[in-house]
Amino acid sequence: MPNPIAQYLDFANHHASTTPADIEKLCASVIEHGFHAAFVNATYITQAKKLLAGKAPVGTVVSFPLGQDTVNAKVAAVNEAVQLGADELDVVPNIGAILAGQTDVFAQELTSIVDSAKMPGKPIIVKFILDPGYFDTLPDKKEKMQMTARLIQQAGADYVKIGSGMGPRGPSLEDVAIVREAVGPDMKIKVAGGVQTYAQAKAFIDAGVVRIGTSKAVEILSGAPAETSTQRMPISE
Protein backbone atom coordinates (compact mmCIF):
# COMPACT_ATOMS: atom_id res chain seq x y z
CA MET A 1 0.00 0.00 0.00
CA PRO A 2 1.37 3.46 -0.86
CA ASN A 3 2.55 5.60 2.02
CA PRO A 4 -0.34 7.98 2.89
CA ILE A 5 1.76 11.08 2.22
CA ALA A 6 2.07 10.11 -1.45
CA GLN A 7 -1.55 11.12 -2.06
CA TYR A 8 -0.69 14.72 -1.14
CA LEU A 9 2.06 14.98 -3.76
CA ASP A 10 1.76 16.21 -7.34
CA PHE A 11 4.86 14.89 -9.09
CA ALA A 12 5.91 17.61 -11.50
CA ASN A 13 8.32 18.08 -14.38
CA HIS A 14 8.18 21.55 -15.92
CA HIS A 15 11.76 21.80 -17.15
CA ALA A 16 12.48 23.31 -20.55
CA SER A 17 14.64 20.29 -21.37
CA THR A 18 11.95 17.69 -20.62
CA THR A 19 11.78 14.82 -23.13
CA PRO A 20 9.13 12.15 -23.80
CA ALA A 21 11.38 9.68 -21.97
CA ASP A 22 11.26 11.92 -18.89
CA ILE A 23 7.47 11.89 -19.00
CA GLU A 24 7.49 8.09 -19.19
CA LYS A 25 9.60 7.98 -16.01
CA LEU A 26 7.40 10.56 -14.29
CA CYS A 27 4.18 8.68 -15.02
CA ALA A 28 5.69 5.35 -14.06
CA SER A 29 6.66 6.82 -10.70
CA VAL A 30 3.19 8.25 -10.17
CA ILE A 31 1.68 4.81 -10.68
CA GLU A 32 4.35 2.99 -8.67
CA HIS A 33 4.25 5.24 -5.62
CA GLY A 34 0.63 6.36 -5.66
CA PHE A 35 1.28 10.08 -6.09
CA HIS A 36 -1.81 12.17 -6.58
CA ALA A 37 -1.10 13.44 -10.10
CA ALA A 38 1.48 13.93 -12.82
CA PHE A 39 2.05 17.58 -13.68
CA VAL A 40 3.54 18.17 -17.11
CA ASN A 41 3.97 20.95 -19.63
CA ALA A 42 1.07 21.25 -22.05
CA THR A 43 2.91 19.60 -24.91
CA TYR A 44 2.98 16.35 -22.91
CA ILE A 45 -0.65 16.22 -21.72
CA THR A 46 -1.68 13.67 -24.36
CA GLN A 47 1.29 11.41 -23.65
CA ALA A 48 0.74 11.54 -19.89
CA LYS A 49 -2.97 10.79 -20.26
CA LYS A 50 -2.16 7.72 -22.32
CA LEU A 51 0.53 6.49 -19.94
CA LEU A 52 -1.55 6.96 -16.81
CA ALA A 53 -4.69 5.52 -18.41
CA GLY A 54 -6.99 6.92 -15.73
CA LYS A 55 -4.85 5.73 -12.81
CA ALA A 56 -4.08 9.31 -11.76
CA PRO A 57 -5.00 12.82 -12.91
CA VAL A 58 -2.86 14.82 -15.33
CA GLY A 59 -2.21 18.46 -14.54
CA THR A 60 -0.55 21.23 -16.46
CA VAL A 61 0.47 24.85 -15.96
CA VAL A 62 -0.86 27.90 -17.79
CA SER A 63 1.08 31.13 -18.42
CA PHE A 64 3.91 29.64 -16.39
CA PRO A 65 5.92 31.07 -14.70
CA LEU A 66 5.37 34.79 -15.41
CA GLY A 67 1.60 35.10 -15.72
CA GLN A 68 1.83 38.07 -18.04
CA ASP A 69 0.31 36.63 -21.18
CA THR A 70 -2.85 38.38 -22.32
CA VAL A 71 -6.16 37.16 -20.96
CA ASN A 72 -7.10 35.89 -24.43
CA ALA A 73 -3.86 33.91 -24.64
CA LYS A 74 -4.49 32.37 -21.23
CA VAL A 75 -8.06 31.47 -22.11
CA ALA A 76 -6.89 29.86 -25.36
CA ALA A 77 -4.26 27.86 -23.44
CA VAL A 78 -6.85 26.78 -20.89
CA ASN A 79 -9.26 25.66 -23.60
CA GLU A 80 -6.59 23.66 -25.40
CA ALA A 81 -5.39 22.02 -22.19
CA VAL A 82 -8.93 20.96 -21.31
CA GLN A 83 -9.52 19.61 -24.81
CA LEU A 84 -6.26 17.65 -24.64
CA GLY A 85 -7.51 16.00 -21.46
CA ALA A 86 -5.92 17.90 -18.59
CA ASP A 87 -7.69 17.26 -15.31
CA GLU A 88 -6.10 20.07 -13.34
CA LEU A 89 -4.79 23.53 -14.26
CA ASP A 90 -2.30 25.55 -12.21
CA VAL A 91 -2.61 29.05 -13.63
CA VAL A 92 -0.29 32.00 -13.03
CA PRO A 93 -2.35 35.18 -12.79
CA ASN A 94 -1.02 38.65 -13.54
CA ILE A 95 0.36 39.49 -10.09
CA GLY A 96 1.63 42.75 -11.54
CA ALA A 97 -1.97 43.95 -11.73
CA ILE A 98 -2.43 43.46 -7.99
CA LEU A 99 0.89 45.13 -7.21
CA ALA A 100 -0.21 48.10 -9.34
CA GLY A 101 -3.54 48.34 -7.52
CA GLN A 102 -5.54 47.17 -10.56
CA THR A 103 -7.85 44.96 -8.54
CA ASP A 104 -10.67 44.95 -11.07
CA VAL A 105 -8.31 43.94 -13.89
CA PHE A 106 -6.96 41.09 -11.78
CA ALA A 107 -10.41 39.89 -10.72
CA GLN A 108 -11.76 39.94 -14.27
CA GLU A 109 -8.83 37.84 -15.49
CA LEU A 110 -9.49 35.23 -12.83
CA THR A 111 -13.18 35.06 -13.65
CA SER A 112 -12.55 34.78 -17.40
CA ILE A 113 -10.16 31.88 -16.86
CA VAL A 114 -12.43 29.99 -14.47
CA ASP A 115 -15.44 30.46 -16.75
CA SER A 116 -13.42 29.13 -19.69
CA ALA A 117 -12.03 26.15 -17.80
CA LYS A 118 -15.27 24.93 -16.27
CA MET A 119 -16.72 23.44 -19.45
CA PRO A 120 -19.92 21.38 -19.17
CA GLY A 121 -19.14 17.74 -18.56
CA LYS A 122 -15.46 18.35 -17.74
CA PRO A 123 -14.85 18.64 -13.98
CA ILE A 124 -11.62 20.64 -14.19
CA ILE A 125 -9.73 21.63 -11.05
CA VAL A 126 -8.45 25.22 -11.26
CA LYS A 127 -5.70 26.60 -9.04
CA PHE A 128 -4.31 30.12 -9.18
CA ILE A 129 -0.73 30.69 -8.10
CA LEU A 130 0.10 33.33 -5.52
CA ASP A 131 3.89 33.73 -5.47
CA PRO A 132 4.53 35.08 -1.97
CA GLY A 133 7.97 36.51 -2.65
CA TYR A 134 6.50 39.29 -4.79
CA PHE A 135 4.66 40.64 -1.74
CA ASP A 136 7.61 40.64 0.68
CA THR A 137 8.70 44.24 0.12
CA LEU A 138 5.19 45.71 0.45
CA PRO A 139 4.37 47.63 3.63
CA ASP A 140 0.92 46.02 3.56
CA LYS A 141 2.15 42.57 2.59
CA LYS A 142 -0.39 40.60 4.62
CA GLU A 143 -3.35 42.66 3.44
CA LYS A 144 -2.33 42.38 -0.23
CA MET A 145 -1.74 38.63 0.02
CA GLN A 146 -5.10 38.15 1.68
CA MET A 147 -6.91 40.30 -0.85
CA THR A 148 -5.33 38.27 -3.65
CA ALA A 149 -6.34 35.00 -2.02
CA ARG A 150 -9.93 36.19 -1.52
CA LEU A 151 -10.20 37.30 -5.14
CA ILE A 152 -9.01 33.83 -6.21
CA GLN A 153 -11.66 32.26 -3.99
CA GLN A 154 -14.41 34.60 -5.20
CA ALA A 155 -13.60 33.80 -8.84
CA GLY A 156 -14.64 30.19 -8.26
CA ALA A 157 -11.20 28.58 -8.27
CA ASP A 158 -10.72 25.33 -6.39
CA TYR A 159 -7.36 26.16 -4.81
CA VAL A 160 -5.05 28.95 -3.85
CA LYS A 161 -1.59 27.69 -4.75
CA ILE A 162 1.20 29.34 -2.78
CA GLY A 163 4.41 29.41 -4.81
CA SER A 164 5.30 28.49 -8.37
CA GLY A 165 8.77 27.17 -7.73
CA MET A 166 10.03 29.91 -10.05
CA GLY A 167 9.36 33.01 -7.94
CA PRO A 168 11.63 34.92 -5.55
CA ARG A 169 11.18 32.26 -2.86
CA GLY A 170 9.16 29.24 -1.94
CA PRO A 171 6.19 29.04 0.42
CA SER A 172 6.42 29.26 4.19
CA LEU A 173 4.16 28.14 7.01
CA GLU A 174 3.50 31.84 7.68
CA ASP A 175 2.23 32.22 4.10
CA VAL A 176 -0.16 29.33 4.62
CA ALA A 177 -1.47 30.90 7.83
CA ILE A 178 -1.98 34.26 6.09
CA VAL A 179 -3.90 32.72 3.21
CA ARG A 180 -5.93 30.40 5.45
CA GLU A 181 -7.04 33.35 7.57
CA ALA A 182 -8.27 35.09 4.42
CA VAL A 183 -10.13 32.22 2.73
CA GLY A 184 -11.47 30.29 5.71
CA PRO A 185 -11.36 26.56 6.44
CA ASP A 186 -12.97 25.20 3.27
CA MET A 187 -10.80 26.64 0.48
CA LYS A 188 -8.08 24.22 -0.53
CA ILE A 189 -4.42 25.27 -0.44
CA LYS A 190 -1.54 23.85 -2.45
CA VAL A 191 2.12 24.78 -2.06
CA ALA A 192 5.03 24.42 -4.46
CA GLY A 193 8.67 25.38 -4.56
CA GLY A 194 11.46 24.11 -2.35
CA VAL A 195 9.61 21.25 -0.65
CA GLN A 196 12.17 18.47 -0.86
CA THR A 197 11.97 16.44 2.35
CA TYR A 198 9.39 14.45 4.24
CA ALA A 199 9.74 16.76 7.25
CA GLN A 200 8.98 19.83 5.14
CA ALA A 201 6.01 18.16 3.47
CA LYS A 202 4.58 16.92 6.77
CA ALA A 203 4.85 20.40 8.30
CA PHE A 204 2.81 21.89 5.46
CA ILE A 205 0.22 19.12 5.67
CA ASP A 206 -0.09 19.63 9.43
CA ALA A 207 -0.66 23.34 8.68
CA GLY A 208 -3.66 22.46 6.52
CA VAL A 209 -2.15 22.18 3.03
CA VAL A 210 -3.86 19.46 1.00
CA ARG A 211 -1.54 19.31 -2.00
CA ILE A 212 2.18 19.79 -2.61
CA GLY A 213 3.68 20.28 -6.05
CA THR A 214 7.22 19.03 -6.28
CA SER A 215 9.83 17.55 -8.55
CA LYS A 216 11.23 15.73 -5.49
CA ALA A 217 8.25 13.50 -4.75
CA VAL A 218 10.33 10.31 -4.74
CA GLU A 219 12.86 11.84 -2.37
CA ILE A 220 10.08 13.05 -0.05
CA LEU A 221 8.55 9.59 0.01
CA SER A 222 11.90 7.92 0.67
CA GLY A 223 12.22 9.97 3.86
CA ALA A 224 8.79 9.00 5.19
CA PRO A 225 8.56 6.57 8.10
CA ALA A 226 7.05 3.17 7.39
CA GLU A 227 4.03 4.10 9.50
CA THR A 228 2.66 7.65 9.62
CA SER A 229 -0.41 9.23 11.16
CA THR A 230 -1.06 11.33 8.05
CA GLN A 231 -4.65 10.77 6.93
CA ARG A 232 -5.13 9.49 3.40
CA MET A 233 -7.12 11.90 1.23
CA PRO A 234 -9.58 10.97 -1.53
CA ILE A 235 -8.23 11.40 -5.03
CA SER A 236 -10.97 13.95 -5.83
CA GLU A 237 -9.16 16.44 -3.63
Q: Compute the distance between CA of residue 134 and CA of residue 144 in angstroms, rounded to an integer.
A: 10
Q: DSSP characters for 125-143?
A: EEEEEE-GGGGTT-TTHHH
Which of 10, 90, 131, 175 is an active site residue?
90
Look up 190 and say whether it is catalytic.
yes
Look up 161 and say whether it is catalytic.
yes
Alpha carbon 143 to its chain centroid, in Å, reads 22
Which of 144, 190, 202, 216 is an active site residue?
190
Look up 55 and say whether it is catalytic.
no
**The amino acid at 171:** P
Q: How crowded is residue 141: how many other Cβ atoms within 10 Å of its Cβ?
A: 14
Residues 6+ apart with CB under 8 A from 183: 149, 150, 152, 153, 160, 189
Classify burial at 31, counting beta carbons within 10 Å of its beta carbon; exposed 0-12, middle 13-18, buried 19 or more.
middle
Q: Compute the distance between CA of residue 189 and CA of residue 211 in angstroms, rounded to an integer.
A: 7
Alpha carbons within 13 angstroms on the beta-carbon side of residue 159 total 28
Give the torsion sign (CA, 223, 190, 53, 231). Answer: positive
Which of 49, 74, 144, 161 is an active site residue?
161
* Catalytic residue annotation: 90, 161, 190
